[in-house]
Structures are given as structure tokens and as C-alpha cells.
Structure 1
Amino acid sequence: MNSEWWKNAVIYQIYPKSFKDSNGDGFGDINGIIEKLPYIKSLGVDAIWLNPLYVSPQVDNGYDIADYRKIDPRFGSNEDLYHLIREAHQLNLKIIMDLVVNGTSDQHQWFKESCKSKDNYFSDFYIWKDAKEDGSEPNNWGSNFSGSAWEWNEQRQQYYLHYYAKEQPDLNWENPRVREAVFDLMHFWKARGVDGWRMDIITSISKNQNFPDNPAKNGEKYVVANQDNGPRMHEFIHDIDREVLSPFKMMSVGEAPASKSIDARQLVDPKREELDMVFTFEHMHIDRKPGGINGRWDVQPADIIALKNILSDWQNSLRDHGWNALYFENHDRARTPSRWGNDHEYRYESATAFATVLHCLQGTPFVYQGEEIGMTNPDFKLEDYEDVELTTNYHQFVEEQKTLSAADFLKAAHKISRDNARTPMQWNDAVNAGFSEAKPWFKINTRYPEINVTKDQESQKSVSNYYRKLIELRHQNLILRDVTYELKFADDPDVFVYERVLGKQKWTIIANLSEKTFDLSDYYTADTKTKVLLSNYQRQGSGLGDAALKPWEALVCEKQI
């Protein structure tokens, strides 16, 4: 087996709860995924990443895990998952699972036992601290979901740390028993055929053991600071590689929220034996106002110059030092046509333009369910949202601090809420978009009659067929894997142009990320050797034909040099 198969791969991400319901209970499930394996295979992808399927109270949509070895009954059974793994492998599709070990659910048996006393086997599985003399929290650390990162436990008479919801206590990675328990659960799933791991907020597992206050400003009581890169983070991740990843040749991609390219070089340099790839958040902040007091809810139009500079920095920094993970959408990110593009007049064009930019970079592209048909954000009312992050942040910024109006918060939610990506998959124009015969767990996007898999595959402007061409282009051309990258027109606020060169072959990727029309010759000089390999405006063959670079137009051009 090629231990670096992921370098040639495109990975399809599934949010099981919203993918396909097979038994009519309103929740997506494992058998629904099995039913749609032929469709997934038809896209040309190489692997499937499954968001958490484990037993969970669903406070944070499955990322609060109560049993790492047992499938939640709403999704099916362990045997159903084993069946899915076998069926996927029959189609040469690998299976990637989520590893969520910064914390567990407060319903996990480890935590229940840890609450009982300060001197049992599980006492130090979590991070416990006494209250200050005045009874307040051990420090001013803030949760990512607003408020304090510390929660008082009456049974144990101590505070425990939670970087996210209070129902998600953080594990204590300083305790070697915790690390051994994590290795053991990874071994369990490897024995069942799992091929790799996406590691949730893995760079947060090491904490500063001095637990100092974070620098505060503007009278902040609780401060969410950079929660990455604790003093033993690299050591702990190397331990995972040594004990599980390398011996069993398992792929790894770690979520590294605050990482810059220089940080990633340490995490993914093969010589350091840590991770294969990391997900950065840096390029996903191009529509966040710098210095805004409301965090991600202070939105602005996408800064395309910043997008180009960030993606280019990662391309150049990791070349010969590691590998990129490429994404624009996932279960935590809104739909690109609605967020950065035009999801009405140019939905097909903007969806495929951003896809072209991403898939022609060096790295492994990830496609999130529905991205390949150009799904859009729903037009929800505030009460329609489900996400714990949204509801707690609304309480903080609108009701408590009053730094955002309800109208402005809702406007931001329409752009960037995590729930935008969690509406059920739109399979056809039948009842509930073909997702379920019962009332779905979450509202269906009302645009499903016009945007669904069946209609997209029959359309002349098929986003999924464009994705198939992009994926085929990656699989068949080494020039998109290991060779040079050079950004052109770095200061242009609308058009993204870069070159990839292999020997005497040069590919130029051009994407107009605006609704303006430009003179194409300002960005690319064609000659008799020019060939258009791919275009979302149906340019074909030799030469460029039309001299205009149209709104949201994307081209992949080849020239011999």
C-alpha cells in the first residue's frame, strides 16, 4: 500500500446527521451513507471523512463524545459502520474518522468517575483546579462558546476546564494514562479497518501548566486567547505518531485553528514525525473585520488580496517541508457561494471559480457534502438555528454586552454561522429534498427544488460535473502535485492568477472572483501553443477565443515553454 496515498487523493467529507436518512427517523445514518456510496464514487474521490458517529448527547453536534468505541444508535450500530468500511473498501474508497480528544462529553464514564474523588484512577483524566480565595475561577480563561472556560462541580468541589461547552470537559494530556487510553481507542478503530484520522483541535491538547491569566482589554472578564501550541503539544502529537500513525500507516490531518504557515512547518515536516497535514483557519478569516470586538460576528466583504497572500504563503512555506490540506467548506464553515460569491445570478460560476482556485494548488483537497452541487446558505430566522456556538455568542454579544444588534448578528449569521453547512443534503426535489421521509432533525434549505443532486447532474451548468473534471485533472497530471507555484498580480483585488510549472509545461490558473468583466489579455498572453484545459464558461481547445474575462470566470490554461 502507498503510505502517502493521500498526496494523490481528493477526500469527501460527510456530516452523517445531515447526509441521508435510511430509516425514516429524521436523522442521517450509516445505512444512508452506504446507499449513496455509488454517487460518492462517481465524483472520482478517493476517501471519505466521517464526522463523529460515536455515542453523544449532541450538545455540540456529536463533538461531545460519551463513548469512543460505540456508535450512537441514531446513526446505526457498530456492525453498520463495519459494513460501511467494507463496502467503501470494495470501491477503493478509504475511510477517515474524527479523533476528538481535546475533551470528552461530561457524560463519558471517565468524567463521571473523575468527579467522584481526587484519588481514584480517573481523578486526573481531566483538568481540575481549586477556586480562588474569593470563590472565583482559577484564571480568566474564556470558552470559545462564550463565558468562562471553568465550570464548578459540586460533587468534587473544584472547577474543571472546558475550552468549548461546559458539557465538554478538557482531558488532561499531562497524565500518561490519558495518552494510553487515546492510543488504545485508535488501535480499536484501526483493527476495524479505518485508514486515517482527522484530529479535532489537536493543537490544543497541551496546556500551560502555570495557568496564567490571559491579557485582557476593554474590561474583559474572560479572555479566549490562542489556545494552540502548549509547551508539550509537539511531544504529545509525536507520541500519537510513534504509537499509532506510523506503525499502522494511518493518514492524519490535524485541526490547528491558530496556526500560521511557520507553525505548520513544524507540525507537518516529515522529519519531525507528527502529522501529515493540518487545517489552518487563517484563510477563513478574510471576511472578519480586523480588531472587531465581536469576534467572528464582525463581518466584512471578503478580502481577495488577503486570500491570495495567505494561500500563497502556505504554498511557498510548506513546499519541500510538508503537505497542505485544502478546503473552503466543512461542517464549521458556511457555503462559499453565499459567503464569498454570488449565490443567485452566478451561483454556478462562483462555486466553480473558488473550486478551481483550490483544486489546482499543491495539497490534498477536501470536498464537503453539498459543496459539489453548489449548495447555499439558508435564509433562516434566529430561532431556526441550532448551533450551541451561535446561541451562546448571541447571548454574550447581543443580550449581555449589547455590542451587536439582533439584526446585525442575524446578518452575520446568514454569512458565517456553522449551521449554514449543516442543513440536510439536497438529493432531489421530492419531499424534504429526498433526505428523509420524516421531519428532518434540522430545517431543509428552501432552495432545494432548484439546487439538488438530481437537477445538478442533469444541468448544462452542473457544479458536480465540473468537480469531476477538476478531480480527474488532479489525478492525471503530476503538475498539480509537486511542482512550483508562483502568484501573479498579487495586489489585484478581484482576479486570482497563479502558475504551476513542470519542465517545459506551464499551467496558468485564472479566476475572476468578482462580478466585474475584465480584459483577459491583461492577465494572460495566449499564443498558438495555448490550450484551455478547463473553463467554467465552456471555452475549449486551442486559443482563448473571447477576449473578455467574464464575472466569476475560471480557466486552466496550458502552454509549452
Structure 2
Amino acid sequence: MSKETTDWWRGAVIYQIYPRSFMDSNGDGIGDLKGITQKMAYIASLGVDAIWLSPFFTSPMKDFGYDVSDYCDVDPIFGELADFDELIAKAHQHNIKVIIDQVLNHTSDQHPWFKKSRSSRDNDKSDWYVWVDAKPDGTVPNNWLSVFGGPAWHWDSRRRQYYLHNFLDSQPDLNFHNPDVVDALLDSVRFWLDRGVDGFRLDTANYFFHDLELRDNPPKQEVVEGSIGVSLDNPYGYQLHLYDKSRPENIAFLECLRTLLDEYTGITTVGEVGCDFSLKTMAEYTQGSNKLHMCYSFDLLTHDSSMTHIHNTMTSIEEGLGDGWPCWSMSNHDVERVASRWNDGKASGAKSKVFMAMLLSLRGSVCLYQGEELGLPEAQLEFEQLVDPFGINFWPEFKGRDGCRTPMPWENKSTGGFSNNQSPWLPISDLHLPIAVSEQQGDRHSVLHAYRDFLHFRKHHPALISGDIEFLFSDQDILVFTRTHDEEMLLVGINVGDQGHFTSPLSYEVKDIVMPEGLRIGQFENRKLILPSNSVYIGKITKTTI
């Protein structure tokens, strides 16, 4: 098989689907696998290369599927295994790859493994989770904290020990130091490979191992907003997480996982990395051809939308990446939607378009979150409407993740065309109905058409997919760089500000190329790049002058 086929993921655009909120096919108010299959033509029309499905496995849904109680089955609310097989077949008919979430760090406390493990200290799964005796005074073993608030240790009265949980106390961490655990998890990965999946998104990919000495994490010397996307209202952000995640043993596990994946053709992995040194970790996890194929971090999921931040982030990863590969995302199911987050809470179609063009022009693969192509703002919910335990714990300073997880608006009507159920699992946002898919389909200048047009435009320019990148200039609003692949060299200019700008003379001769309709387009004149407010310019460099 050709390298082009096996390396399809390099520069690929991956559309993330949150199944609960995409399309409800049976009227129970919750999205499902059949609903996704019904909308496969829409997904294909976007021009994406793959879909990533957030968890649909059997689960008590304390964390909405990220608490797995059976790695090898579909939760009934989403359908059954036959529905997944149908989804795979439909996606492949449309030349769309299918990537599924793998939550390997922890299970639900309802998983049979944990039920057996907690039953005694001497059963065959007693060491499958991280069990530790209390200190002599009965307190927790060390100072590790849960991302979701409070200590990362929960007392179990049956074993009279604490168990580790980096997230909810109903999500006990697996003990990766036990080879039997690793073997069981790899078996679950093989199960889905044999059903035809094309790859895996690895949840919390740097959390798998813990420090066997259980050393305390030190405090951060400087407390900075943004550790794994949480607010400093959460004490988790005050520690430097040296010992509870990003441990060196992770590398050996990733190598073992890659050995399994390489038994199959054209499989990819994208790892989620959230830590204080995520760019360094991304490089470590993707260098060589024996670990993850690519990683994405939270570095573009912060509130800093300045082009200086983008430039610095990209430069940092490029300098240390070697032959590794990044994957970038501006939104996902865990953070405030980018249309609001990067525009002071006020969605703007013009801003959505220019940020989209910026993201899709950078070097790396890209994850787009469902609804991002519509320019959806964050939904505003009342406390009584929340279901996310993270948001409920930290309200009102942190409103949780429900605002980015509300149902997809397909039509401008009360249920948004998502369901015929008048009370879906989360309410349809009134802000979303006027910009539903049905409202944008016929508008050539809509955000939806800008996404479609740019994604198809990008496929005709290899430099934007896999080319090298060189940054020429950046400030708060402006980013200028080149992308080069073989004979194609492109000049890219981005202005995300509300004022026009022009650059100093550049040492290039540039020919205009036809840009997608619906974007505000800059110009290249007299060796200067002229960028109106919220505009994009991409031109073909024909000559470099001195």
C-alpha cells in the first residue's frame, strides 16, 4: 500500500462528533449512532477526511461516556454494535475514516474489573487499580489533586484503602504498572481494529502512569491560567504535576500500543496531552515511528487568541518536534466554543471565518468540533439546566462543559431538527437556531459555506496540507508565513483584527490564486501584503528577490 494511503492522517482534517448531541434518530432526546449515519452525507459535504467519535461505550454516564464500564460494547442509549458497523460502512462509502475515543486511563467504578478489584486485597484483579493504604493518621497518601476538584484519592470501606482517581471519584485510575492491565487494554483496542476503525483518539494520553513512590507534586513557581483547560478557581492549577502524570513510563506503553497498531494498515492515533509542558510532551510522544502518530494539546484551547500566541506556540513545537507531527484544535467538547472564547463572548461570522482559515493553513493535522463550521457561540445555560458534574462543582466561576455540548442545530425550529423530543438531554440554544444548518445552506457567504469552500480549496494545495512552514511576522492581530511543498510555495497572511494593516516590503514576487468565496480577501501589491480587517490572503510565490 502506498505511503499516501498509510499516511493519510498527515494534514488531515478530523471532524469531532459528540454523539449525544449530534442527531437523535429514535426520539429519546439523546443523539445516537444511527443519527450520525443519517447525517454522513452532510459530513462528507464539508470536505473532512475523518470523523472522531467521542465515547459511545457502555457506561453509567456519570461523565457522559468517559466512564467506561465495557470497552467492547455500545451503550444502549447510542444503539448496538450492528449500528456501529453500519456507521463504519457508511463512512467508508463516503471515503471518510473513523476514529474512536479510547479512555484507557480509567474506567467506571461499575466496570467488572473494578468491582472485582475492590472486593478484596487478594483476588486476581486486586492490583488492577491504584490502591494505597492511608497514612497513619488516616489521611490521603499524598497531595495529588483531581482535575474535577478535591483530593485525587477516594476511601473505599471494603478494602480499607484509598484508590486513585484523576477525575471523578467514580472514575478509578487503572494501574498501568501491572502488565495484565496493559494486555487487557490492548485486547480492547484490537477488538475495534477488527471491526474496521481507522484510528484512535487517546483521552488523557499522558495520564496512564503514576509515580510508584507517590511523591508529592511541588507547587508551581508561577501560577498561570490554563492547565488542562481549567480555571484557577480549581486548586488543580496550583501544582506542578510532575508525579501524577506525564511519567517517563508512558513512552514504553505507547511503543507497545504502536506495535499492535502496526499490525494493521493505515491506522492512526491522536493523543490528548494536557500538562504544564505539553509542547515538549507532544514532541516526545510523536517523534520516531514507534509511538503516537500525532498529539494535540490545550495550547490553542485557551482564551489567548493573539497571533503572537499562535506564532509562539507553533514555533515552540516546530523547534522541538523533529519528525513528530502535531494536531491542532480551537474547540472541543471540554472548552467554551471558540466563536465566543476568542471574541470576548460575542460570536462573529467574520471572525469565525478568518480563524478557520488560519487554523487550516498551519502545519499539522486539524480537529474541528461539530458546530464550529456554523460559527456556533457558547450556549448560555442556567444552573438548573446543568448536567456536567465539573460545571456543577465549580459554578458560577466556571460554568462547565454543557455550553459547548448542546444539541446540533439542523433546522430553525424549537427542537433544532436534532430530535422530535421536546426535551432533549440539554436544551437547544436560542442563539443557535438562526444559524442552523438549514439557514446557512443557501447563503453563499455563510460560515458553513466558508468552511466547505476552504476545506475543498485546501485539498488542491499540497503546501497547506503537508508543506513546511516559515513564519515571517506576527503581532496581536497579524500572522504572516509561508508554506512550501515541492514546487508550490504559498504566502499566507491573516488579519484577525478590526483594523486594516499592511506589511513592510517582502522579498517575494507573488501571483494571486483564486480564493474561496465568502472570505474577505487581502491583496499583494508593490511587494506589500495589504490585509483589511478580518481578512485572509493566500498567494503563490513565483520568485524570491534579495
Give TM-score scaled by structure 2 length: 0.89
Q: For residue 330 of structure 2, what is the amino acid of its counterpart?
A: F
Cα pair distance change 1:500/1:244, threshold 3 Å: closer
Q: Deviations over 1:351-379 (max 9, x none)?
A: 11111111111211111111111111112
Residue 440 of structure 2 is aligned to residue 423 of structure 1: no
Q: Aligned partners of 2:102, 2:453: CA distance in 1, in Å?
A: 31
Q: Aligned partners of 2:59, 2:505: CA distance in 1, in Å?
A: 52
Residue 249 of structure 2 is aligned to residue 232 of structure 1: yes
Please say if residues 531 and 559 of structure 1, whose CA atoms lie closer than 8 Å, have aligned partners that are also in contact: no
Q: Which residue of structure 2 lines up, in the alignment, with residue 402 of structure 1?
A: none
Q: Which residue of structure 1 lines up, in the alignment, with residue 380 of structure 2?
A: 379
Residue 267 of structure 2 is aligned to residue 285 of structure 1: no
| Counterparts of residues 330-479 of structure 1 (less than 5 Å) | 330-341=332-343, 347-394=348-395, 406=396, 409=397, 413=399, 417-438=400-421, 439-479=423-463
**Residue 479 (structure 1) shift:** 1.1
Please say if residues 532 and 555 of structure 1, whose CA atoms lie closer than 8 Å, have aligned partners that are also in contact: no
Segments of structure 1 that go 5 or more residues without pairing to the other structure are 288-301, 395-405
Which of 500, 504, 508 matches 1:518? 500
Q: Which residue of structure 2 lines up, in the alignment, with residue 314 of structure 1?
A: 317
| Counterparts of residues 160-239 of structure 1 (less than 5 Å) | 160-216=163-219, 224-226=239-241, 227-239=244-256
Q: Deviations over 1:184-238 (max 9, x none)?
A: 11111111111110000121101110001122489x9986542432131101111
| Counterparts of residues 19-30 of structure 1 (less than 5 Å) | 19-30=22-33
Q: Aligned partners of 2:132, 2:115: CA distance in 1, in Å?
A: 17
**Residue 445 (structure 1) shift:** 1.2
- State how many pairs are aligned: 522
SS in 2 for 1:489: strand
Q: Aligned partners of 2:471, 2:387: CA distance in 1, in Å?
A: 40
Please say if residues 533 and 556 of structure 1, whose CA atoms lie closer than 8 Å, have aligned partners that are also in contact: yes
Cα pair distance change 1:199/1:349, threshold 3 Å: same
SS in 2 for 1:254: strand
Q: Aligned partners of 1:386, 1:278: CA distance in 2, in Å?
A: 29
| Counterparts of residues 116-195 of structure 1 (less than 5 Å) | 116-195=119-198
Q: Aligned partners of 1:34, 1:530: CA distance in 2, in Å?
A: 40
Q: Which residue of structure 1 lines up, in the alignment, with residue 227 of structure 2?
A: none
Cα pair distance change 1:462/1:134, threshold 3 Å: same
Cα pair distance change 1:89/1:483, threshold 3 Å: closer
Q: Deviations over 1:161-204 (max 9, x none)?
A: 00000000000001111011011111111111111100001211
Which of 97, 106, 114 matches 1:94? 97
**Residue 531 (structure 1) shift:** 3.5
**Residue 274 (structure 1) shift:** 0.5
Q: Which has the higher helix share?
A: 1
Q: Which residue of structure 1 lines up, in the alignment, with residue 84 of structure 2?
A: 81
Give TM-score scaled by structure 1 length: 0.87
Q: Aligned partners of 2:511, 2:96: CA distance in 1, in Å?
A: 38
SS in 1 for 2:270: strand
Segments of structure 2 that go 5 or more residues without pairing to the other structure are 224-233
Q: Aligned partners of 1:140, 1:541: CA distance in 2, in Å?
A: 56
| Counterparts of residues 500-539 of structure 1 (less than 5 Å) | 500-502=483-485, 505-515=488-498, 517-522=499-504, 529-531=511-513, 533-534=515-516, 536-539=518-521
Cα pair distance change 1:555/1:541, threshold 3 Å: closer
**Residue 308 (structure 1) shift:** 2.1
Q: Percentage identity across aligned positions?
A: 35
Please say if residues 131 and 161 of structure 2, whose CA atoms lie closer than 8 Å, have aligned partners that are also in contact: yes
Q: Deviations over 1:6-62 (max 9, x none)?
A: 115221110000000011100001110011001111111121110000111111111
Q: Which residue of structure 1 lines up, in the alignment, with residue 283 of structure 2?
A: 265
What is the aligned-residue RMSD (CA, Å)? 2.5
SS in 2 for 1:450: helix
Q: Aligned partners of 1:441, 1:59: CA distance in 2, in Å?
A: 14
Residue 538 of structure 2 is aligned to residue 556 of structure 1: yes
Please say if residues 245 and 251 of structure 1, whose CA atoms lie closer than 8 Å, have aligned partners that are also in contact: no
Q: Aligned partners of 2:54, 2:257: CA distance in 1, in Å?
A: 20
Q: Which residue of structure 1 lines up, in the alignment, with residue 272 of structure 2?
A: 255
SS in 2 for 1:188: helix
